Structure 1
Amino acid sequence: MSWAENAATFLKNDHVMLTPLSAPDREDIRAVAMDPDIWRYFTVTVGDDADFEKFFDSNLAEHRAGRRAVYVIRDRKTGKVAGSMSLLSFAEKDRRLEIGASWLGKDFRGQGVNHWAKYALLKHAFETLEAERVEFKTDVLNLQARKGLANIGATEEGVLRSFNYMPGGRRRDAVFYSILRAEWPQVEKLLLEGPKPKTASA
């Protein structure tokens, strides 16, 4: 099967469960998505119910069309929906894809949920889809996301200046990171050690 057909599947480990997005997830996602802090560095804004409906419907349409594999993240400790993460930018001929559109509700930040969700998706990308390269990108201003990517073993590659528009008209500089297939065994070892503890300055 192609990546578009095979990317979305049930994933889990001891900490998180990732399920492909479906229409019945709408209200569980809404319950954690209505927080403006989530969208500070996103190219979309979810500020009210109309914004959310547009956001959810767009995600569901992209998922159903096979252009993205949108996952709902559930915290296995509480059983609650924690947020979402996607596989996207499929370049199957070149064995390249991206993990992105990552966000968590406020109660699940700093709890290791992001770490273990990214581990699940990286394992799926390298071991099931047989990707050669997994990419990440974020706003150059998003220092928290950049630190998180460094902490999971991703290599910073550089900044693409004036990459895209942000809500409000700002032009975003996007910083790219990647993990390569040859690096995956060492990165997996790092990830299995668990999230790095926060420091006083974090």
Structure 2
Amino acid sequence: MIDFNLRLENGSVLLRPLEEADLPPLLVLSSNPEMWRFFTHDLSTMDGLSEWARPAFEKQRLQFAIIEKKSGNLIGSTALGNISERDSRMEIGWTWLGVSYHGTGLNSVVKKLLLTYCFEKIGLERVEFKTDVLNVQARKALKNIGAIEEGVLRSHTLMTSDRRRDTIYYSILKQEWEYVKRENDW
């Protein structure tokens, strides 16, 4: 179902598979530990960044480097994972952008590119998203693209600070995609 050499692009961004050579420039973007309070890994160190990237290099998820086409800069990362071919679903997640790219609209552009691939190229029935219930910014962003809140898994994930995260799930279904596409200003 997943081509681990997949490249996706539009007028604003290029998504290409993450490479080990991307880790040092990503570390420059991720060096503020405060960025990771809602994340399952602290990417502010090379050890943390390498541990987070390991599943991508082991082909357990398709982790992309996000390149802003206007500048050519590596600006963050996103992924396709938790793939269930039998159930025709997968998750879009593991997404982050460098602080200077927050609020630029590029996260929505990336989501549209991935959702278009999921629904229009490979014909998935469901795309899932999940985040920390405390991450108000991520929850708002998911609602803004039309993802439907489904529920909370309590004490679901161990965070880097030894806090147990309550994880909130969202999804978009195949039959909702045309509406989501039409209603968004991406």
Instruction: Name the TM-score class by shorter chain.
Output: over 0.9
**Corresponding residue number in structure 1 for 2:99:** 106
Match of 1:134 in 2: 127
User: In 2, are the aligned partners of 1:160 and 1:174 still within 8 Å (CA)?
Assistant: yes
1:170 to 1:73, Cα distance in 2 relative to 1, 3 A: same
Question: Scaled by the length of structure 2, what TM-score is found?
Answer: 0.93
Change (3 A) 1:132 1:43: same
C-alpha root-mean-square deviation of aligned residues, in Å?
1.5
Distance 2:43 2:57 in 1: 21
**Does residue 147 of the first structure (1) align with residue 140 of the second (2)?**
yes
What is the rounded CA distance, in whole Å, between the counterparts of 2:176 and 2:116 in structure 1?
12
Gaps of 5+ in 2: none
The counterpart of 1:35, out of the listed 17, 24, 32, is 32
Distance in 2 between residues matched to 1:155 and 1:79, nearest whole Å:
33
**Counterpart residue number, 2:83:** 90
Quickly say closer, same or farther: Cα 1:119–1:54, change in 2 above 3 A.
Answer: same
Change (3 A) 1:7 1:51: closer
Task: Give the aligned residue type for 1:182.
Answer: Q
| Residues 1:154 and 1:8: Cα distance change in structure 2 (over 3 Å) | farther
CA distance in 1, matches of 2:88, 2:51: 31
Cα drift, residue 8 of structure 1: 4.5
Aligned residue pairs total 186
**Aligned mates of 1:67, 1:49 — CA distance in 2:** 20
> Distance between the aligned counterparts of 1:139 and 1:90, measured in 2?
20
**Equivalent residue, structure 1, for 2:7:** 10
| Segment drifting more, 28-37 vs 99-108 | 28-37
Give the SS at the match of 1:93. coil
Write the distance in 2 (CA, Å) between the matches of 1:188 and 1:123: 9
Structure 2 Cα separation of the partners of residues 86 and 37 of structure 1:
22
Q: State the identity %.
A: 40
Aligned counterparts of 1:49 and 1:160: Cα–Cα separation in 2: 30
2 CA distance for matches of 1:121 and 1:25?
A: 20
Do 1:35 and 1:105's aligned partners in 2 also have CA atoms closer than 8 Å? no
Matched AA of 1:28: P
1:165 maps to 2:158: yes
User: For the structure 1 residues 126 and 13, does the alpha-carbon distance in structure 2 shift closer, same or farther, using more than 3 Å as the test?
Assistant: same
2:23 pairs with 1:26: yes
Q: Which residue of 2 aligns with 1:68?
A: 61
Return the alpha-carbon distance in structure 1 between the equivalents of residues 26 and 17 of structure 2.
13
Flag structure 1 segments of 5+ consecutive residues without an equivalent: 195-202
**1:79 partnered with 2:72:** yes
Aligned to 1:200: none
Paired with 1:178 and 1:95, the residues of 2 have a C-alpha distance of 13
- TM-score, structure 1 normalization: 0.86
